[in-house]
Amino acid sequence: MPVIKILNEMSKEKNIQPQVEATNKKESISVLEKIRRRTGLLVGIVGLALVIFILESLLGSGASIFGGNEQSSIGSIHGKNIDRNEFLTKVENQLNIIRQQKQTNDIDDATRGQVLDYVWQQYVSDLVIKPQYDKVGITVGEDEVYERVVAHPVPSVAQRLTDQKTGKVYEQLAGPDGSLDPAKFRAFVQNATGDQEMFIKQMEDDIKNMRYAEKYATLIRKGLYATTVEAKESFKAQQNKINFSYVIKRFDSVSDSTVKVTDSDIQKFYSDNSYLFTNSETSRKIEYVSFDVLPSPSDVEAIGKDAQRAADEFKGKSVREDSAFIAQESENGAINIQDMNKKNMIVRDSAIFTAAAGTVFGPYNEGAYFKVYKLQAVNSIADSARVRHILIGINDPQTQQPKRSPEQAKKMADSLLVLIKAKQVTFDTLVKTISEDGGSKTNGGDYGWFDENKGFVEPFKNAGLMGTKGNISVVPTQFGFHIIEVLDVSKGRHNTYKVAQIFKLIAPSDETNQTIFGTASQFAGENNTGELFDKAVDAKKLTKRIGDNIKESDRQLPGLDGAKELIKWVYTAKKGDVNIFTFTDKHVVAKVAGIKNKGILPLEDVKDEVRVLAIKDKKAQTFLAEFNSKAGGSKNVEEIATKLGLEAKKQENLPLSSHNVEGLGHDDILMGTAIGTKAGATSKAIAGDNGVFVLNVSSIEESKSPIDIKMQQMQLDQATGGRADYEVFNALKEIANIEDHKSRVD
């Protein structure tokens, strides 16, 4: 349908009469239509790219369950509820744009999910980010926007005015070199009306948002800098080395089972250290059993019989009929015909090497498929060959966009072949001036000797391996048409076997699926509480799987693709609830095993973790008492080790910036103690990450390398600046207290 007609039809629906009076306006509308078809939702997304990038940390926020009416809100930001109907209206508006552009009413789940994310990001931007611009006094003037959109378009503007298929700016807006012509674009902007103005306004808004975000991010980075003192300390940490000896009694030297902790011990540790159990975002945990849908013996038998029928019919097909028959009989219509030799033959019957062309082998049960093979032909080929070629391609070698039709390429190749054979032009000349294969152009079109294992496409290889020296022919491949001259072939030859394959998936029938679903349904019905579920799993010796740390915005779970409905249920169910869900290849009965809301988690949810830490704490207290009682007065590490029956260890030339101790692993407490202890001094007994230790610093070797303060400051500034956006917006996320429940309308 012509562009003008499309716009007219759209205008009738809106009761708007388009006025297209001049040729330049027709061209503008044509450009706009191409732009609108290509961009759609992405216009907004690309325009907000920088804002969305720095907002990504905000969007990972989990949420506690709805407060108030679930039907009226899909979340909140800064305590402001996001109205469900308003949100859905915006989502539907975006979906309508996509439907109009694609001329279809079908919206897949992935596209709908992207739209939901996009609309939610707009709310976050409006309520979290944009208010910060006003607070710090950032402004973006109209002149700035005009400069970046019209006067001197930034790359993102040119990107939106580029044809996705060709990778080039639309012809009506392009200059002689193919880049965006500012003068033509200004004329387009000045003459824009209706939908054109809306497009330009959207682009201006997006560039304005990008400029705000750039200024805000720059302001943050410029407000952070490293002092000379910080630069010197950083240099010391990187260059200076420390030498120390230590003795440690590791926590894992005593079994946890030998340490008794009471409920009061657990409660005290939890009360004293509740900050350790703060949950930054809401999550859920499930336990589930999977009833896998596998083919039954009767399914396998039925598919085997069907494969035998196909094999019998395959015998009566000619080579010309084979491809259509394979597509009809094979899984997903796949056509598989390969050249093989004795080394890589996949047919299990060695009789194929002496069989006549047309012989059918199978069916064979080969794991997931029944396979039927047909020997189509036996060919004698050279062990190796050498050719040179001229490529007349179908696509442009630079952009990979269509350059000429296959018919045009073949006609050109045939004409050149006539000229070569008539000796009106040399092969070498055409390689240099015509060939579109840059890979062999510098070698006169010659790729050297190759055999059948070379990664060339089959027609190209066969032209050499099955050809004769001196032969020149036109050979079609997926890349275009090749004029190939066989320069030489080896004396040695061997047979290849062209084998066609039919494969039938061994899949469960609908009856088998229903039977397995019935078993799963019965299990779910009889064990519909957490307690009954656990007892049944143990009694039936079923494998219980775990899905932990599930966020409300998740759409997939490990091993459970397309788990959207399960996740939605988990966030509306109570702990201990049980339900059944159907997946492509299994039926799952799941139990809500844990609910972790944002904030400090209750003791009952983290009791196992608290118990482990309480045991470690009790070990630490016992070990400290042992150190103090047996070696409290000693300052010699070797002597302390002897008294405690432990081994003294040495650590040499360790950078002060290190977090790991050789033979011990990561231990920030031990490293911090070593750095904070003066040379020649011995620490007291201290509980570290891995055990209770005492250490003695023998020396600290200071680097003699000169320090470049400016360079060190620059490195620190770069490291800090790289984290600035994330850290700032992560802090804004916490302040905003975002609750994101948009997945409940997905």
pLDDT digits (tens, 9 = 90+) for 78-129: 989 999 999 999 888 888 877 766 677 888 888 888 888 889 888 988 899 8
Q: Is the pLDDT of residue 47 over 80?
A: no
pLDDT of residue 71: 56
Q: Hey, what amino acid is at 566?
A: L
Q: Is the pLDDT of residue 3 over 80?
A: no
Q: Is the pLDDT of residue 698 over 80?
A: yes
pTM, to two decimals: 0.62
Q: Hey, what amino acid is at 611?
A: R
Which token pair is 696?
């003695």
Angle at 142 between CA 136 and CA 147, to 5 degrees: 110
DSSP state of 334: -
pLDDT of residue 34: 43
- Point out the least confidently predicted range of 116-130, 581-595, 608-622: 116-130
Q: Is the pLDDT of residue 615 over 90?
A: yes
Angle at 98 between CA 92 and CA 100, to 5 degrees: 100
Q: How far is CA 109 from each of CA 23, 106, 352, 605, 743, rounded to the nearest angstrom? A: 42, 10, 48, 34, 12
Contacts 24+ apart (CB under 8 A), 671-674: 674/242, 674/244, 674/246
- Side-chain-side CA neighbours of 623 within 13 Å: the count stands at 28
Which token pair is 310?
């196909």
Contacts of 655 (CB under 8 A, 6+ apart): 237, 238, 239, 240, 241, 242
Are 427 and 438 within 8 A, CB to CB? no
**Which phi and psi angles does 192 have, rounded to 5°?**
-65, 140
pLDDT of residue 293: 96
Which token pair is 562?
């397309």
Q: What is the pLDDT of residues 72-84, one digit of tens each?
A: 888 899 989 999 9
pLDDT of residue 24: 43
Q: How confident is the model at residue 399 (pLDDT cuts 50, 70, 90)?
A: low
DSSP state of 136: T
Q: Is the pLDDT of residue 32 over 50?
A: no
Contacts 24+ apart (CB under 8 A), 333-338: 334/503, 336/500, 336/501, 336/503, 337/376, 337/498, 337/499, 337/500, 337/501, 338/498, 338/499, 338/501
- C-beta atoms surrounding 207 within 10 Å: 22
- C-beta atoms surrounding 22 within 10 Å: 10
Q: Hey, what amino acid is at 126?
A: D
Give the Cα separation of 667 and 658 in Å (integer): 10
Which token pair is 440?
């062999």
Q: What 3-state class would DSSP assign to 125? A: helix
Contacts of 667 (CB under 8 A, 6+ apart): 659, 660, 661, 688, 689, 690
pLDDT of residue 39: 41
CATH architecture of 384-491: Roll (3.10)
pLDDT of residue 16: 33
Number of residues that make up the chain: 746
- Point out the least confidently predicted range of 96-105, 337-346, 349-358: 96-105
Give the Cα separation of 445 and 387 in Å (integer): 8
Mean pLDDT of 703-732: 86
- Point out the least confidently predicted range of 34-38, 193-197, 301-305, 520-524: 34-38
Give the Cα separation of 318 and 357 in Å (integer): 10
Give the Cα separation of 466 and 460 in Å (integer): 10
What Rg, from alpha-carbon coordinates, does the chain have?
36
Q: Is the pLDDT of residue 190 over 70?
A: yes
Q: What is the pLDDT of residues 474-510, one digit of tens each?
A: 999 988 999 999 999 999 999 999 999 999 999 999 9
pLDDT of residue 110: 80
Angle at 644 between CA 642 and CA 646, to 5 degrees: 70
- Side-chain-side CA neighbours of 448 within 13 Å: the count stands at 3
CA neighbor of 387 nearest in space, from 460, 479, 474? 460
Q: How confident is the model at residue 300 (pLDDT cuts 50, 70, 90)?
A: very high
CA neighbor of 639 nearest in space, from 690, 677, 682? 682
Stated as kind and residue range, the H or E segment containing 680 is none
Q: Which residue has the tokens 């009954």?
A: 532
Q: How confident is the model at residue 45 (pLDDT cuts 50, 70, 90)?
A: very low
Q: Is the pLDDT of residue 202 over 50?
A: yes
pLDDT of residue 227: 92
CA neighbor of 241 nearest in space, from 726, 675, 741? 675
Q: How confident is the model at residue 315 (pLDDT cuts 50, 70, 90)?
A: very high
Q: What is the pLDDT of residues 125-177, one digit of tens each?
A: 889 988 999 999 999 999 999 999 888 888 888 887 877 667 778 778 877 77
Q: How far is CA 407 from each of CA 395, 401, 414, 473, 557, rounded to the nearest angstrom? A: 13, 16, 11, 17, 49
Mean pLDDT of 542-551: 94
Q: Is the pLDDT of residue 437 over 90?
A: no
Q: How confident is the model at residue 180 (pLDDT cuts 50, 70, 90)?
A: confident
End-to-end CA distance of the chain: 34
Are 50 and 129 within 8 A, CB to CB? no
Q: How confident is the model at residue 516 (pLDDT cuts 50, 70, 90)?
A: very high
Q: Is the pLDDT of residue 30 over 50?
A: no
Stated as kind and residue range, the H or E segment containing 190 is helix 182-190
Q: How confident is the model at residue 746 (pLDDT cuts 50, 70, 90)?
A: low
Q: What is the pLDDT of residues 362-386, one digit of tens each?
A: 999 998 999 999 999 999 889 999 9
Q: Which residue has the tokens 């302040």?
A: 735
Residues linked to residue 402 through DSSP beta bridges, in sequence order: 395
CA neighbor of 288 nearest in space, from 558, 608, 603? 558
pLDDT of residue 33: 47
pLDDT of residue 165: 63
Q: What's the chain's average pLDDT?
A: 85
pLDDT of residue 164: 60
Q: What is the pLDDT of residues 647-691, one digit of tens each?
A: 999 999 999 999 889 888 999 999 999 999 999 999 999 999 999
Q: How far is CA 266 from each of CA 273, 442, 604, rounded to the nearest angstrom? A: 11, 76, 11
Q: How far is CA 572 from each of CA 70, 161, 255, 522, 569, rounded to the nearest angstrom? A: 10, 46, 41, 23, 5
- Looking at the chain, the whole-number percentage of residues with pLDDT higher than 90 is 53
Mean pLDDT of 582-600: 93
